[in-house]
A and B are shown apart, each in its own frame.
Chain A
Amino acid sequence: MRPGTPGPLIRGLATFVAFVALLAAVRGAAAQSLAVPPNGIVCTTSADDSFALTATDGYISLPDGNSVYMWSFASGTGPFQHPGPVICVDQGDTVTITLSNTLSQPVSLIFPGQSDVLANGVPSQPQFSGATLTSLAPAAPTGGSVTYQFVANEPGTYLYESGTNPGVQVQMGLFGAIVVRPAGHPDWVYADASTAFDPAHEYLMLLSEIDPYLHMALERGQSYDMGQYRPRYFLINGRSFPDTIAPNGAAWLPDQPYGALAHIYPYDPVTNPLPALVRYVGVGSADFPFHPHGNHSRVVGRDGRPLRGDGGEDLSYEKFSLPIGPGQTWDVTFSWHDAENFSPSNPIPVTVPNQQNLFAGAYWSGSPYLGGTGTLPVGGEGYNQCGEYYHVAHNHALTQITSWGLTMSGMMTYTRIDPPEPNSCP
């Protein structure tokens, strides 16, 4: 602990208290089939696969107390949100996306990984003014709109982002994710049984960064020298830790609706045989070497294609560090196995020191055992609820788990592992 950095703890406490409250509320309201689960991917779907995105501006909240001006895509006439809606469709769907632009610059949309994209009914092409490239796709002028259309032929995870002045506009926040599910198999990542996952445990990690001077300049209508670009904030799903572990739709983050807490159970061949799925999307200017603690991830797809050779070879692989590059998407499955089955009757071969001889972490249960609890220091955070385990998942370019001076923040979240059910977890 260092002097001058109490922010995350206080913020984390608020986050967690609200998290518990919301979790309880969600459980209570389950009968009313709440659309947004407390964690996990939040899909925006459409019966006719038509979506409306509105380029607009607003502010997001960061854990050092700052508020940063952003451009982003709202869902139709909905409120400003960052990032844009997560568009989920099925393989083979004809997807129609109408972009309306309320910003002061023309804005367009590109769909990396999709083929034969139409803009207002004709092939979407780079735009030139004379010999000058002006946009990667037809753009909507201020107050105008463009309708894009493509057939989602290939399952996987994709990005949509502005193709106009993209160095500025994407950094300003004009991006979002697209998920294409294989036809008939919402529980597979690709049209391939080896990519099966548990749909109840599907997560999106949209990794981005912010240079606050760029955002300040655009807020003030000033120019900005991109040669001076230097990101200071590092986000998952538009939030910086500890906000990343707050639930989806947290009331105190009204414009940042997407959480990034992964919530799983230990692998069990009978009751929990399928892994979780994590869809990583890189929106930054360099690799984000993402390192989830607890277990390796199995990379089953990249950029919307399964890792299969032309001869059907299984090219998937396991890694403990996932270098998510600019514009890349990585589909990985993840599970945690209770390898040693430690319990009070199968104790760890270590004498745990008296609590006065240790520092207890905010999410520590007081017990080494899954589902166990123990004495915690009086006055500590004590966020643990039912002896669940937590494993951090974070960017290992460790300068990027900071928020412009605030340490232990930034591109970081947790995997929560609950004891097998039935358990005493709320």
Chain B
Amino acid sequence: MDQRLTRRGFLRLGLGAAAGGAGILLAPHTRDRLARRAEAASVLAQGASLRYHLAGTDGWISLPSASSSTYHPDGLAPAGLSTYMFGFADVTGLDAAQIQAMKNKCQAPAPLMYFDEGQGALVRLTNLGLAQRPDLTDAHTIHWHGFRNVIPMFDGEPSSSVSVPIGRSLDYYYRPREPGTYMFHCHVEDTEHVHMGMTGIVFVRPAQNGGAPGIPPGRYVFNDGVPPGDPRSTAYDREFAVLLTEVWNEAHWDDAHIQLPEWSDYRPDFFLLNGRVYPDTILPHGTPPGRPDLAYQPYSSLIRANAGERVLLRFANLGFLKQTMVLDGIRLRVVGKDAVLLRGRDGSDLSYQTSTISIGPGESVDAIFVAPEVVSGEATYLLYNRNLVGLSNNGEPGLGGQLTEVRIAPAGTLPPQSAPNQ
């Protein structure tokens, strides 16, 4: 049986359970996404293909805590889950009924999106409404944060353009001209919708990946114009997108309970990498074995590479606080910020080596490291938030929050990376 049909039937079966608040078994992370995307691409004419289809809705995630309080875990949360979210679900290639069944099944963070420089593409947004808040008829949008020279129609800032009411859809057209790492989020009721989780990373691959005079085809962060052996090269073997966000329990609880927080009291309780906190950050993608509660937090932040490989970290921060990520024991070279190659107009190389990545709200950083040699077995390094408050889960003792592991295997151990973050 076709996997989508299986999935669809499964979704239908799950609807009743979802209404009862227990529908946590369905992973939004879909293995057949690429196949569905190819199918979706053929649906549209006009040259620009539909690359992603996102649905704005609400849902629940799991953030671990040894203690309980008024705000955490939320008493309304389905069994095993803790925190009310707004977010995007990946509905690429799904039919209308399947899409509708994704209401209340947003994922954190949003699906990772990536595009090729110069290639026009469409992203469709469907607003499914908020199952937990039927009184709240918020529109949604997609704001590609940092997209240059955008027209308001595709910017997603609702006052200057249009936004998508519940039950409706809108296509956004992008022809990205500048490679690098960006982020995207809903811009409706910006403070609330961003904090509630409508956030994701989007990046653009450079035309140089197809090769250029003197430069072989490969993987590059930017059109750097130099061969891979040049110290200014942005060539890499593996890439990992790392989105920093925060969860303030009170604000999330308030939204589930028809309350409003005072945003200037903001004090986050959880600090997330790709929608999870340590130690969940190092669990596998999708729904890890034995962890159905992570079904809506599909992204691992475990970074694995072979010794000698060049590893690209694409950082973006959509929290509200500046953070500083440290990679202990390995030097990083910062090659890009805010989707701009660090090079002056006169060609001056402005890249630099560091072990700390300071990254404020709305900023992105592209940093490359060379995986060190390993003596035997696998070597583990730690990538963590040096603002050590960001290493606590819910203010409790022990290591949590924005921490993940970088595991280096002997050369030739891992096969080539098949997709970002793999």
Contacts and interface: CB of A to CB of B under 8 A. Distances in A.
A359 B190 contact: no
Contacts of A360: 162
A321 interface: yes
A194 B363 CA distance: 26
A323 B363 contact: yes
Contact of B191 (A361, A398, A404): A398
B363 to A, nearest CB: 5
B360 A287 contact: yes
Contacts of A287: 322, 360
Contact of A293 (B155, B162, B322): B155
Given A321-B361, A389-B152, A398 B195 contact: yes
Given A317-B340, A323-B363, A396-B362, A368 B149 contact: no
Contacts of B344: 313-317
A32 to B, nearest CB: 33
Interface in A353-406: 353, 357-364, 368, 370, 389-392, 394, 396-402, 404-405
B353 interface: no
Interface in B137-188: 137-139, 143, 145-146, 148-155, 157-165, 168-173, 175, 177
Contacts of A353: 168-170
Interface string B190-226: 1110110000000000000000000000000000000
Interface in B97-132: 120, 122
Given A350-B171, A404-B264, A407-B191, A291 B362 contact: yes
A396 B361 CA distance: 6
B34 interface: no
B338 A321 contact: yes
Contact of A340 (B151, B159, B266): B151
A220 interface: no
B343 to A, nearest CB: 9
A339 interface: yes
B35 to A, nearest CB: 24
Contacts of A398: 190-191, 194-195, 263, 320, 361
Interface string A289-329: 10101111000000000000100011111111101000000
A338 B120 contact: no
**Interface hub of A296, A361, A399 (most chain B Cβ within 10 A):** A399
Contacts of A294: 148-150, 155
Interface string B324-345: 0000000000000111101011
A65 interface: no
Contacts of B155: 293-294, 391
Interface in A211-268: 230-232
A313 B347 CA distance: 9
Contact of A289 (B148, B168, B177, B322): B322
B346 interface: yes
Contacts of B189: 1-2, 407-408
A389 B320 contact: no
A336 B169 CA distance: 28
B145 to A, nearest CB: 7
Given A323-B363, A349-B122, A359 B164 contact: yes
Contacts of B175: 339-340
Interface residues of B, number: 66
B6 interface: no
Contacts of A342: 151
Contacts, number: 200
User: Chain B's interface: helix, strand, loop or mixed, by majority?
Assistant: loop
B260 interface: yes
Contacts of B263: 398-399, 402, 405, 407
Contacts of B120: 349
A64 to B, nearest CB: 12
A340 B19 CA distance: 45
A319 B171 CA distance: 27
B345 A389 contact: no
A338 B149 CA distance: 6
Given A293-B155, A336-B149, A349-B173, A309 B348 contact: yes
Contacts of A1: 137-138, 189
Contact of A321 (B165, B346, B363): B363
A314 B159 contact: no
Contacts of A309: 348
A392 B159 contact: yes
A316 B347 CA distance: 11
A269 to B, nearest CB: 15
A194 to B, nearest CB: 7
Nearest to A370: B151
B166 to A, nearest CB: 10
A414 interface: yes
Given A364-B152, A364-B160, A399 B348 contact: no
Listed residue (B138, B160, B321, B345) with the most chain A CB atoms within 10 angstroms of its CB: B160
Contacts of A185: none
A405 B262 contact: yes
A422 interface: no
A4 interface: yes
A337 B148 CA distance: 8
Contact of B162 (A338, A364, A397): A364
B350 interface: yes
Nearest to A409: B191
B26 interface: no
Interface string B233-264: 00000000000000000000000000010111
B361 A368 contact: no
A351 interface: yes
Contact of B338 (A314, A318, A337, A400): A318
Interface of B: 46-48, 120, 122, 136-139, 143, 145-146, 148-155, 157-165, 168-173, 175, 177, 189-192, 194-195, 260, 262-266, 320-322, 337-340, 342, 344-346, 348, 350, 360-363
20 contacts: A1-B137, A289-B322, A293-B155, A309-B348, A318-B338, A319-B340, A321-B362, A323-B363, A339-B175, A339-B177, A349-B47, A349-B173, A351-B171, A361-B160, A363-B159, A370-B151, A389-B152, A391-B152, A401-B191, A404-B264
Given A314-B345, A402-B264, A414-B160, 14 more contacts: A2-B136, A230-B264, A293-B157, A315-B348, A321-B360, A342-B151, A350-B172, A358-B165, A361-B159, A389-B160, A396-B320, A404-B264, A405-B260, A408-B191
A-B CB proximity, top 7 nearest = A396-B362, A320-B146, A368-B153, A390-B160, A314-B344, A321-B362, A361-B159
